[in-house]
């Protein structure tokens, strides 16, 4: 293995970097999906709420006078989250394709040595 060509060493380094990027993007996407699910649950609870509604601001709970505005803000946040998730999905797809291509290239090169 000491006589690996510089080109193959570079491909292996790219492969490892792509693998790390793919893991980071996948983790970030999962976190955003979890946040979006929490927002959806919050929105559902807000729709069912009949009494006073409070929102968290730092360590405080603040009474909300305009429930519709909070709902609109929450809907906007969910839309923004959707856009971010879609962007991460595209990035994840590109990285996965690059990862698989590099993996095939490396496997062929190692098999020839």
Q: Are 104 and 96 in contact (CB under 8 A)?
A: no
57 assigned to some structural domain: yes
- pTM of the predicted model over 0.85: no
59 assigned to some structural domain: yes
Residues 6+ apart with CB under 8 A from 64: 52, 53, 54, 55, 70
Which CATH number fits the domain that encloses residue 21? 1.10.287.370
Q: Which helix (H) or strand (E) holds 90?
A: helix 67-112
Q: pLDDT digits over 47-101, tens only?
A: 998 889 998 889 999 999 999 999 999 999 999 999 999 999 999 999 999 999 9
Name 61's bridge partners. 56
1 assigned to some structural domain: no
**Mean pLDDT computed over every residue of the chain:** 93
Range of the domain at 89: 6-43+52-112
Q: What is the pLDDT of residue 25?
A: 98
Q: Are 1 and 12 in contact (CB under 8 A)?
A: no
Q: What is the DSSP letter of 64?
A: E
58 assigned to some structural domain: yes
Residue 5 predicted with pLDDT over 90: no
Q: What is the pLDDT of residue 113?
A: 59
Q: What is the pLDDT of residue 110?
A: 85
Q: Which of 96, 77, 81, 87 is nearest to 23 (CA)?
A: 96
**Number of domains, the chain:** 1
């Amino acid at each position: 293995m000491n006589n690996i060509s510089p080109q193959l060493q570079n491909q292996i380094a790219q492969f490892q970097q792509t693998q790390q990027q793919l893991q980071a993007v996948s983790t970030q996407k999962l976190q955003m999906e979890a946040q979006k699910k929490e927002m959806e649950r919050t929105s559902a609870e807000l729709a069912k709420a009949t009494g006073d509604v409070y929102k968290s601001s730092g360590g405080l709970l603040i009474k909300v006078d305009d429930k519709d505005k909070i709902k609109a803000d929450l809907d906007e946040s969910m839309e923004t989250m959707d856009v971010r998730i879609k962007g991460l999905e595209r990035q994840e797809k590109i990285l996965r394709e690059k990862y698989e291509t590099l993996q095939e290239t490396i496997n062929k090169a190692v098999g020839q040595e």
